[in-house]
């Protein structure tokens, strides 16, 4: 099957699209990325998604519809620019954009109406991958670890540095995973205060000075004492991280330096769980050389950066995989990863035919 995976992360840097081919031969899963692209958000859409959680019920419902239509238009444009035929794509797997994530209250919301998306494109769409897991007592996140196990098993640990940093690894023959700490969600927000979309190569952070008091306050947040599985959402970041950064009254570059050090320390703490091995790093943060250097400083594992296509599109690839597994009638969410009551098959399908 050819499935188009679509990912929009909490860092709001754009929409990732990866058309992926999956084939299972004699029980062995083979895959490759056929075409991929990232479409940045306009300033208007970036603002609308940043403030989605502040909207009324009516306005948020309208935004859900309009965002679903936007994703549909983006897919149609992707198909045209790459000279593809819709018949080449068996389905679209869309993460949507997370507005609320409080699994302790049974809440997780990813907007991007699947019905309007499907109607706009004429393609079958699978989305809403998280809510079933949350309803069963799980965190609804992370969902990527099944892809780590099936597609990247050569690495002892798989670290994603997106809006939120998360990791997965084998422990006692069971896939274990969880969110570690905020990453690009905070780093990009601080960079915007300097008029930049992101801190290229971590140059601003590298020019700053780590503040020991702020670093201690960050590291002492109760979340970091919880065991996996656990997950983070925008709400927690606003209530905890942003408050500490603002109260510190430090310069932006010193806040960046301190937060990069915080990420490095928390990642090191989360992955030092046994023998050293290879640590695969993907996501936008993998391009932040200063951040990667600080992570390497706090771990004995050998850091591996894969080819750029995998760095940029691993999450989109794995959401396509989730849809492929769903069509095959196979488990695509592990209870050991999310804390759900049982392994299950996630995703809601909107069929055109």
The share of the chain scoring above pLDDT 90, in percent, equals 94
Express each pLDDT in 226-253 by its tens digit.
999 999 999 999 999 999 999 999 999 9
Residue 121 scores a pLDDT above 80: yes
CB atoms under 10 Å from CB of 225, counted, come to 7
| Phi, psi of 93, rounded to the nearest 5 degrees | -110, 110
Place of tokens 């306009």: 42
pLDDT at 274: 58
Name the band, by pLDDT with cuts 50, 70 and 90, for residue 352.
confident
Q: What is the pTM of this model?
A: 0.92
- The answer, yes or no, to whether the previous bond of 339 is cis (omega within 30 of 0) is no
pLDDT at 275: 66
CA distances from 199 to 84, 297, 337 (A): 35, 20, 31
Cβ distance 107 to 100 under 8 Å?
A: yes
As a whole number of angstroms, the distance between CA 56 and CA 65 comes to 14
Name the CATH superfamily for 145-309. ATPase, nucleotide binding domain (3.30.420.40)
Select the more confidently predicted residue: 309 or 9: 309
Residue 11 scores a pLDDT above 90: no
Q: In the chain, which residues fall in CATH 3.30.420.40? A: 2-138+328-350, 145-309
2-138+328-350 carries CATH number 3.30.565.10? no
Cβ distance 126 to 323 under 8 Å?
A: yes
Name the band, by pLDDT with cuts 50, 70 and 90, for residue 9.
confident
The SS3 call for residue 150 is helix
The token pair that represents 189 in the structure block: 């927000």
């Amino acid at each position: 099957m050819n499935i188009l995976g679509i990912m929009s992360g909490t860092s709001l840097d754009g929409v990732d699209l990866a058309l992926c081919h999956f084939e299972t031969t004699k029980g062995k899963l083979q895959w490759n990325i056929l075409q991929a692209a990232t479409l940045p958000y306009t300033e208007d859409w970036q603002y609308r998604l940043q403030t989605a959680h502040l909207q009324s019920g009516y306005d948020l419902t309208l935004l859900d519809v309009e965002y679903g239509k936007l994703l549909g238009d983006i897919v149609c444009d992707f198909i045209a620019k790459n000279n593809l035929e819709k018949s080449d794509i068996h389905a679209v797997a869309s993460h949507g954009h997370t507005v609320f994530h409080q699994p302790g209250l049974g809440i997780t919301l990813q907007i991007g109406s699947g019905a309007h998306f499907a109607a706009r494109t004429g393609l079958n769409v699978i989305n809403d991958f998280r809510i079933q897991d949350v309803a069963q007592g799980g965190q609804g996140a992370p969902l990527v670890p099944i892809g780590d196990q099936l597609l990247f098993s050569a690495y002892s640990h798989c670290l994603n540095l997106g809006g939120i940093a998360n990791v997965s690894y084998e422990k006692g023959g069971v896939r274990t995973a969880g969110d570690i700490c905020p990453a690009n969600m905070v780093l990009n927000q601080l960079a915007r205060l300097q008029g930049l979309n992101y801190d290229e190569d971590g140059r601003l952070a590298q020019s700053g000075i780590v503040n020991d008091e702020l670093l201690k306050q960050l590291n002492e947040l109760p979340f970091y004492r919880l065991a996996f599985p656990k997950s983070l959402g925008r709400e927690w970041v606003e209530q905890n991280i942003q408050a500490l950064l603002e109260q510190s009254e430090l310069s932006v570059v010193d806040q960046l330096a301190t937060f990069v050090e915080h990420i490095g320390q928390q990642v090191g703490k989360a992955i030092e769980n046994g023998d050293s091995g290879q640590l695969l790093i993907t996501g936008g943060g993998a391009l932040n050389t200063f951040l990667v250097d600080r992570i390497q400083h706090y771990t004995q594992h050998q850091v591996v950066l894969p080819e750029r296509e995998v760095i940029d599109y691993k999450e989109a690839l794995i959401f396509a995989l989730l849809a492929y597994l769903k069509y095959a009638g196979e488990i695509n969410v592990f209870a050991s990863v999310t804390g759900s009551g049982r392994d299950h098959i996630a995703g809601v399908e909107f069929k055109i035919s």
